[in-house]
C-alpha cells in the first residue's frame, strides 16, 4: 500500500465506528472470554473432571454384583447432591471465574482493554457471563449424562416426566450454584493475588466446617442456600456434613425456604460482582500491577 492509500484509510472520520451500546460491549467481552476459556488446557481438564460422575452409575450397572444395589434415582440424587453441587460447581468457579480479571493483569494485556471505550463494568460482566455459559454447559451436560447413565439402573427413566423434571430441577440448582460461586471467585480474583488458594480454603474448607458447627454460622456459606434449593422429595439425604444430633436439630430449626435461598444467592452474587466492578473501576492498572490496590 502506498502513502496515499494509507492516508486515505486513516483520514476517514466517518469510518470511525459509532458509539457502542452497553449490551454490545458486554457481548464483545463475553465472546472473547468464551474463546479464551475454550482454548485453554484448563478447559479440557475441567471438562474431564466434571464428567467423571457419569462413570459411577455405569460402573454400578455393569460391574457391580451387589444384590441390594441402590436404585437409579437414589444414585442420581446422591451424585448431584454430593458431587455436582458441593464439589464440581465450586471447582468450575475456581477454574474459570477466579482468573477472569486476574489473568489480564498477570499477562499484562489489561492496558489494551482499558484503553477501549468500554465501561469497566461491561468488561467484568461480559467475562462473568462467559464463565457462566461455559461452566453451566459443562455441569449441565455432566448432570444430564449422569441422569442418562443412572437410567440404566432401576426406578429412573429417560421418558418419565417426573424424572425429567427432577433433572431440570438439578440443572437449575447447578446454575444458581455456579452463579454465586462464580461471583465469589471473580471477587477473589480482583481482591487477592492467590484467588484459587483462598477459594479452596473458603469453598472446601470453611463451607464444610461451617455446615457441621452447631449454630447459625452455616448462614455464612453459599452451600446453605444451594442445598435449600434441592428437590424436597428427591432428597434421599445421606448428608455427611450434618454429623451431630445437635447439628441436625439446629439445621432443621434454621431451615431456609427455596424462595429466600434464591434471593440470598442473587444478593450474594450482586454484592460480589458490584464490589469487583467498583474495585476494577477505581484501580489503576498500568501494566502488571494495580496501583492503589
Q: Could you list the residues that contact another protein (CB under 8 A)?
A: 1, 3, 6-7, 9-13, 15-17, 19-21, 24-25, 28-29, 31-32, 35-36, 39-40, 107-109, 111-120, 123, 281, 284-287, 291
What backbone phi and psi angles, to 5 degrees, belong to 51? -90, 0
Instruction: Kindly state the smallest distance separating residue 113's Cβ from another protein, in Å.
Output: 6
Pick the closer one to another protein by CB: 67 or 292: 292
Longest Cα–Cα distance in the chain: 84
User: Is 179 within 8 Å of 132 (Cβ atoms)?
Assistant: yes
Using CA atoms, how far apart are residues 138 and 34, in angstroms rounded to an integer?
Answer: 13
Q: How far is the CB of 4 from another protein (least distance, A)?
A: 9
Comparing CB distances to another protein, the nearer of 38 and 263 is 38
For another protein, which is the closer residue by CB, 41 or 65? 41
Of the pair 20, 200, the CB lying nearest another protein is at 20
| Minimum CB distance to another protein smaller for 108 or for 137 | 108
Q: For another protein, which is the closer residue by CB, 68 or 112?
A: 112
Cβ at position 94, least distance to another protein in Å: 20
Q: How far is the CB of 177 from another protein (least distance, A)?
A: 29
Nearest approach, Cβ of 174 to another protein (angstroms)? 29
Quote the least distance from Cβ 60 to another protein, whole Å.
Answer: 40
CB closer to another protein, 260 vs 289: 289
**CB 189, min distance to another protein, A:** 17
Give the N- to C-terminal CA distance of the chain in Å, as an integer. Answer: 46
Amino acid at each position: 500500500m502506498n502513502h496515499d492509500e494509507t492516508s486515505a484509510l486513516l483520514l476517514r472520520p466517518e469510518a470511525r465506528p459509532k458509539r457502542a451500546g452497553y449490551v454490545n460491549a458486554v457481548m464483545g467481552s463475553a465472546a472473547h472470554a468464551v474463546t479464551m476459556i475454550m482454548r485453554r488446557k484448563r478447559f479440557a481438564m475441567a471438562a474431564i473432571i466434571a464428567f467423571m460422575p457419569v462413570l459411577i452409575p455405569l460402573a454400578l450397572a455393569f460391574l457391580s454384583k451387589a444384590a441390594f444395589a441402590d436404585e437409579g434415582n437414589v444414585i442420581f440424587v446422591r451424585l448431584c447432591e454430593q458431587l455436582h453441587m458441593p464439589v464440581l460447581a465450586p471447582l468450575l468457579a475456581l477454574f474459570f471465574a477466579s482468573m477472569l480479571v486476574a489473568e489480564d493483569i498477570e499477562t499484562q494485556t489489561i492496558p489494551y482493554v482499558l484503553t477501549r471505550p468500554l465501561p469497566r463494568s461491561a468488561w467484568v460482566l461480559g467475562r462473568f457471563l462467559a464463565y457462566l455459559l461455559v461452566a453451566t454447559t459443562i455441569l449441565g451436560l455432566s448432570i444430564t449424562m449422569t441422569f442418562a447413565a443412572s437410567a440404566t439402573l432401576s426406578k429412573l427413566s429417560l421418558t418419565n416426566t417426573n424424572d425429567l423434571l427432577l433433572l431440570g430441577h438439578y440443572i437449575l440448582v447447578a446454575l444458581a450454584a455456579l452463579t454465586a460461586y462464580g461471583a465469589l471467585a471473580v471477587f477473589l480474583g480482583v481482591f487477592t493475588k492467590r484467588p484459587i488458594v483462598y477459594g479452596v480454603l473458603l469453598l472446601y474448607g470453611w463451607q464444610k466446617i461451617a455446615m457441621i458447627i452447631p449454630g447459625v454460622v452455616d448462614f455464612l456459606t453459599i452451600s446453605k442456600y444451594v442445598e435449600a434449593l434441592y428437590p424436597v422429595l428427591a432428597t434421599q439425604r445421606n448428608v455427611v456434613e450434618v454429623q451431630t444430633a445437635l447439628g441436625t436439630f439446629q439445621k432443621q430449626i434454621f431451615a431456609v425456604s427455596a424462595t429466600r435461598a434464591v434471593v440470598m444467592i442473587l444478593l450474594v452474587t450482586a454484592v460480589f460482582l458490584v464490589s469487583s466492578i467498583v474495585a476494577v473501576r477505581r484501580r489503576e492498572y498500568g501494566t502488571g500491577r494495580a496501583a492503589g490496590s
